[in-house]
Amino acid sequence: MWIGFDFDGTLVDWPDGTEGRSYGPDHPHMVVLLKELVSAGLECRIFTARAADPVHLEIVKKWLEERGVGHLAVTDRKDFELRAIIDDLAITVIEDKVLTAPDAVNLILNRLGLKLEKELKGKSMPN
């Protein structure tokens, strides 16, 4: 079982006009979430289109190394072991409800039997 983290727009800001040769500033809360899930023993992978290009893949790997999680796999593929994707472009639908990102993360962690030290705050959106 693994959880995928998108790179651009999720772990870092989208780069402006660089065609992916760089990336924007970190999103600190998402980096902390990634590290907390890894520390809790969950397998996390970076799930990004950058994995399809060797130059972009190296950029992501270097970023991971600089943040102490260089051992994480980087992929652009889903498989049947994938349990959740944390992504800025995704719309979360669980049990016929659209959820905000914090609610979705809390629900998924709850289903996996995990709990963060500090619960994420958010409100569900009506359908």
In this model, does residue 58 exceed pLDDT 50? yes
| CATH code for the domain in which residue 28 is found | 3.40.50.1000
Are 81 and 110 contained in the same domain?
Answer: no
C-alpha span between 70 and 103 (Å, rounded): 28
Are 57 and 96 contained in the same domain?
Answer: no
Averaged confidence pLDDT in the chain = 84
| Predicted model pTM | 0.77
Give the closest residue to 84 by CA, choosing from 72, 74, 94: 94
- Residue with tokens 């950029």, as numbered in its chain: 59
Are 13 and 56 contained in the same domain?
Answer: yes
pLDDT digits (tens, 9 = 90+) for 69-103: 999 999 999 999 998 899 988 777 767 777 776 77
**Beta-strand (E) ranges in the chain?**
2-5, 43-47, 73-75, 82-86, 92-94, 97-99
Are 59 and 112 contained in the same domain?
Answer: no
pLDDT digits (tens, 9 = 90+) for 9-34: 999 998 776 666 778 899 998 999 99
Give the closest residue to 21 by CA, choosing from 46, 55, 51, 68: 55
